[in-house]
């Protein structure tokens, strides 16, 4: 009941005209990002962070969150119409969605995707309301030792699932932690790893780094190959038939469960629940031979799991302060930029903010449904923009955003430099997510570890005296051991397939 009271007060704030406007703008921009192939939620959210600098913290988080789940739906449009996923999580939608478009059923595919996304996102948000606060209350009992162990475990889970080469993932984690050490020592106040560069005394900027590694690098990769032709598919109807809706009910329900459960696990990535939901639906179907030939259940299950995952992935962030994917890591960086530290204390210290943001998830899902059913034709026309123009426009926006953060040209060079580094790392199949997550979690891990050692007088034995911390530290050992000794056939997905 307490959570319900907080949620109602959150709705009172989220339904104010200015927060509604922020959610609306975020949904439009997110859908646009999803429609334009090559960007994706992580890159798009990172690129658009500068738009929120002038907003209050609550408005900034509402807009960026709307961009995130808007982008998760937007990729559906390109998957159905031109068989090119706007973002990786929409790959599964191509299997049956594009076949439906070739059969003149593009409207039904896009309609059921919008309905499934709405249902999955809404039910996942309801579960978020139920789960997040008890989980945060439990985490409040954690001390610095438990927090350090929790962040190590969360980072290790992401490392283990972010790349097919565990050594490469661990190397990127170490690089991210080293980048987090740049700046002034939090205890002695002395510069470290700054090499006499004054701009680095405040540490390396998160926004330029993430805009470079995700935004610029993605543009460079997307510029190499580009498919721009559209099929001649008529959108005869914007809504699926009554029979198609009936056939999709079970798929939407199962997709919601799969997406929500996997969204709670850090590092799974959006493509995993969509694949699992699709495979599950094919196995329970009485006519599995229809899948791959235009089965509407395949579209419904994948798209529902996609958006259920997006909302569920906010639970570890809000309740524990652990980003579960690269996009959530970008959102966590936005929280920190606005002076907000995600985690269990967030519910106690800033309940109005967190419940307004959660209420905005419900509002955003409704806005997406209203936006995407009648406006699919408009989004489809955007695909005719020459890719060179789009690429140049996004790059200009990145430069303006990096410069506008501190009005410092140094940040622009940092962004461009990390863009080239990110491009090379992707070409060499090195995962980017571990480095980004380590860069964000590094300062908090250092603070928790130092506090723990101050309490114990410098003895690491304190972790052996705390059962919860010891259990959490056992998770990385188990995960790394499993990944090192498991068969090659079970190698995890590449990072480009994990977000």
Q: Is residue 425 predicted with pLDDT exceeding 50?
A: yes
Other C-beta atoms closer than 10 Å to the C-beta of 11 total 16
- Asked if residues 200 and 183 have their Cβ atoms less than 8 Å apart, the reply is yes
DSSP annotation of 494 reads P
Q: Is residue 157 predicted with pLDDT exceeding 70?
A: no
The residue with tokens 């509002």 is: 363
Most confident of 36-50, 164-178, 380-394, 411-425: 411-425
Phi, psi of 264 (to 5 degrees): -80, -15
Residue 295, class by beta-carbon neighbours within 10 Å (0-12 exposed, 13-18 middle, 19+ buried)? Answer: buried
Phi, psi of 30 (to 5 degrees): -65, -45
237, 239, 241, 242 alpha-carbon torsion, rounded to 10°:
-150
Please report the pLDDT score of residue 271 as a whole number.
67
- Asked if residues 83 and 383 have their Cβ atoms less than 8 Å apart, the reply is no
C-alpha span between 367 and 16 (Å, rounded): 14
Q: Of residues 44 and 267, which shows the higher confidence score?
A: 44
- Asked if residues 303 and 76 have their Cβ atoms less than 8 Å apart, the reply is yes
Q: Which two structure tokens, joined as six digits, stand for 398?
A: 């990145």
Please report the pLDDT score of residue 228 as a whole number.
45
pLDDT band (50, 70, 90) for residue 495: very low
> pLDDT per residue over 246-282, tens digit each?
888 888 888 888 888 877 766 556 666 887 788 788 8
In the chain, domain spans: 2-498
Radius of gyration of the chain (CA): 22
Q: Which helix (H) or strand (E) holds 381?
A: helix 376-382
DSSP letters along 297-350, please?
A: HHHHHHHHHHHHHHHHTHHIIIII----SHHHHHHHHHHHHTT---SHHHHHH-
Please report the pLDDT score of residue 440 as a whole number.
73
pLDDT band (50, 70, 90) for residue 463: confident
Phi, psi of 342 (to 5 degrees): -65, 150
Q: Is residue 234 predicted with pLDDT exceeding 60?
A: no
Q: Which two structure tokens, joined as six digits, stand for 150?
A: 């929790």
State mean pLDDT over 117-126: 83
Burial 218-235 (b: 16+ CB within 10 A, else e): bbbebeeeeeeebeebeb
Q: What percent of the chain has pLDDT over 90?
A: 1
Which stretches does DSSP call E strand in 55-214?
A: 183-184, 191-192
Q: Find all residues with CB under 8 Å of 241, minimum gap 6, and list them.
A: 108
Task: Name the pTM for this structure.
Answer: 0.66
């Amino acid at each position: 009941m307490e959570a319900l009271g907080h949620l109602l007060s959150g709705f009172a704030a989220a339904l104010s005209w200015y927060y509604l406007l922020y959610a609306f703008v975020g949904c439009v921009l997110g859908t646009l990002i999803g429609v334009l192939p090559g960007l994706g939620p992580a890159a798009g959210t990172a690129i658009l962070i500068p738009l929120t600098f002038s907003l209050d913290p609550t408005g900034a988080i509402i807009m960026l969150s709307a961009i995130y789940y808007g982008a998760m739906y937007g990729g559906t449009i390109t998957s159905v119409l031109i068989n090119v996923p706007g973002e990786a999580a929409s790959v599964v939608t191509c299997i049956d969605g594009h076949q439906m478009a070739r059969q003149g059923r593009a409207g039904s595919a896009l309609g059921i995707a919008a309905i499934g996304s709405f249902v999955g996102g809404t039910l996942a948000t309801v579960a978020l309301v139920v789960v997040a606060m008890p989980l945060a209350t439990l985490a409040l009992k954690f001390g610095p030792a438990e927090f350090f162990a929790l962040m190590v475990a969360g980072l290790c889970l992401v490392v283990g699932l972010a790349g097919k080469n565990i050594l490469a993932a661990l190397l990127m984690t170490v690089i991210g932690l080293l980048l987090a050490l740049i700046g002034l020592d939090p205890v002695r106040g002395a510069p470290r790893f700054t090499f006499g560069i004054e701009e680095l005394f405040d540490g390396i900027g998160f926004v330029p780094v993430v805009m470079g590694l995700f935004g610029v690098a993605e543009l460079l990769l997307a510029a190499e190959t580009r498919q721009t032709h559209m099929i001649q598919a008529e959108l005869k109807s914007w809504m699926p038939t009554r029979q198609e809706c009936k056939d999709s009910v079970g798929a939407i329900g199962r997709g919601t469960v799969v997406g929500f459960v996997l969204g709670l696990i850090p590092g799974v990535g959006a493509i995993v629940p969509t694949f699992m939901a699709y495979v599950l639906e094919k196995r329970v179907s009485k006519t599995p031979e229809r899948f791959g030939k235009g089965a509407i259940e395949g579209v419904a299950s994948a798209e529902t799991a996609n958006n259920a995952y997006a909302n569920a992935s906010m639970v570890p962030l809000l309740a524990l302060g652990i980003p579960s994917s690269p996009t959530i890591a970008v959102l966590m960086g936005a929280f920190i930029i606005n002076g907000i530290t995600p985690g269990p204390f967030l519910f106690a210290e800033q309940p109005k903010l967190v419940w307004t943001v959660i209420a905005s998830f419900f509002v955003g899902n409704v806005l997406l449904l209203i936006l995407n059913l009648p406006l699919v034709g408009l989004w489809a026309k955007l695909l005719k923009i020459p890719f060179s123009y789009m690429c140049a426009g996004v790059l200009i926006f990145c430069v303006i955003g990096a410069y506008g953060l501190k009005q410092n040209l140094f940040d622009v060079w940092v962004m461009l430099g990390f863009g080239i580094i990110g491009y090379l790392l992707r070409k060499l199949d090195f995962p980017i997510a571990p480095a980004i997550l380590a860069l964000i979690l590094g300062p908090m891990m250092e603070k928790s570890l130092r506090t723990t050692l101050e309490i114990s007088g410098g003895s690491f034995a304190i972790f052996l005296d705390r059962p919860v911390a010891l259990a959490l530290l056992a998770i990385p050992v188990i995960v790394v051991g499993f990944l090192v000794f498991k068969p090659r056939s079970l190698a995890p997905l590449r990072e480009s397939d994990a977000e």
